[in-house]
Amino acid sequence: MALEIGDKAPDFEVNDQDGNKVKLSDFRGKKVVLYFYPKDATPGCTAQACNLRDNYEALQKAGYEILGISSDDEAKHRKFIEKQELPFTLLADTEKEVHEKYGTWVEKNMYGRKYMGTQRTTFIIDEEGKIEDIIKKVKTKEHTSQILK
């Protein structure tokens, strides 16, 4: 069953780039941008992360905590953060459990080849832990404006 605006955001616990356990429920009382992306250091994912980095101050002023999540491991996340100077947390969902809860681990099709992968999707979660918005058609280079609209 797909998540919808108004639903309670499923809680989870995964490691961040430094191996620290992070739970969504730790952010209760704050607005959260939970963005699912396919892979560290690829062109689209880098453009998206850098757009959020370049507008991080505006996102913080609007009260948002940023959490990026992919199936990459902690080491890849650390390298990506260091190379791109990202000021926010990246979560390692190597078992794809969070992807499954949020419906972002999907069958994809490229050049006729079917495979499983991350559907780039952003969930805006309010202070109560409810989904305020779901951005399915992410514009990687303009993502902040989609969030702050």
pLDDT tens, position by position, 92-147: 999 999 999 999 999 998 899 999 999 999 999 999 999 999 999 999 999 999 99
Q: What CATH homologous superfamily does 8-148 map to?
A: Glutaredoxin (3.40.30.10)
Q: What is the pTM of this model?
A: 0.96
- Rounded Cα–Cα distance for residues 1 and 55 (Å): 33
- Rounded Cα–Cα distance for residues 87 and 65 (Å): 11
Where are the chain's structural domains?
8-148
Any idea which residues carry the catalytic annotation?
45
pLDDT digits (tens, 9 = 90+) for 35-76: 999 999 999 999 999 999 999 999 999 999 999 999 999 999
